[in-house]
Structure 1
């Protein structure tokens, strides 16, 4: 076999393996995005920009404890947010009691802002009297399980070079 054909074959095998691993992780970890690249410094020194975080889907809000790092979607934000749970509250959303999570990045001085819901902004009063946003259960996608340091820097650099980041 000619050398270039071998290289193309290995490249194709590598692509199939990568997509196979991604599909397997989706099933095994119960999430559409089992690997995410950290795009901000809000969680330093735990996660740095360019780290890749392995996520596990959350199927029950009781799986989330204070101190866990969760990933949630927020309306109006392009990327999911990955921050630490500091408090857990039970609130009424659409007339039903539901858990919500006060979060903020380890490198941020204040909690995340109030979360927009169909009932208005979701916020709670913390023990110190501060009013903080609270992330509803339905917005939580996953929990952080493991970090692979810096392996996402190249894709971030490429996205920035192409004006996509």
Structure 2
């Protein structure tokens, strides 16, 4: 392979990566959510959502309500949680009024207070990453497989590398 072909492949790869980032940033701006697409990683919301379902999020302008399914993250947690709001308390302190939110997984026995940081009994609107507005079933299973079996991720990358190299030779 000559230098010109190598440079062209590098430019094409850069355009693919840049396009993907532009699409992601456009979705962030359009939805108002820092993470507009998430994958369900546990069975806590079954039968509504199963492991591997892809959820689409939107940050609504209206306050959270009981029954909304939200994705939230608390301090000290790396992975966001998808659960339903079961209680909302409005405090008249300040403007706009502050909301105290309690969540629960549909498939769980109790509320989520055990998942919140020690001493925290409620979520507030700052913890909410977005409200679930749509989903694609089972499409995110590849993500779960790559997280559960890291060797699969490396095997997939190696296989893609072999395909790219052999397709360029032929």
TM-score normalised by length of structure 1: 0.72
Higher radius of gyration, 1 or 2:
2
The offset of 1:8, in angstroms, is 8.0
Give the Cα–Cα distance (whole angstroms) in 1 for the partners of residues 137 and 11 of structure 2.
30
1:47 to 36, 46, 49: 49
Change (3 A) 1:33 1:13: same
CA shift, 1:81, in A, is 1.2
Query: Does 1:160 pair with 2:148?
Result: yes
Q: What SS does the corresponding residue of 1:113 show, helix, strand or coil? A: helix
1:128 corresponding residue in structure 2: none
- Residue 55 of structure 1, CA deviation: 0.5
Of Structure 1 and Structure 2, which has the larger fraction of its residues in strand? 1
Specify every segment of 5 or more residues in structure 2 that has no aligned partner in the other structure, as ranges: 152-170
Instruction: Give the equivalent residue in structure 1 for 2:161.
Output: none
| Number of corresponding residues | 144
Residue 76 of structure 1: how far off its partner (Å): 3.1
Q: 1:11 to 1:24 in 2, by over 3 A?
A: same
Q: Structure 1 CA distance, aligned partners of 2:19 and 2:13?
A: 10
- Counterpart contact for 2:37–2:56, Cα < 8 Å: yes
Structure-1 residue corresponding to 2:40 = 38
CA distance in 2, matches of 1:116, 1:159: 24
Higher share of residues assigned helix: 2
1:71 is aligned to 2:59: no
The answer as to 2:82 corresponding to 1:112 is no
Matched with 1:148 is 136
Q: TM-score, normalised by structure 2?
A: 0.70
Alpha-carbon RMSD: 2.9
| Stretch deviating more after TM superposition (39-48 or 134-143) | 134-143
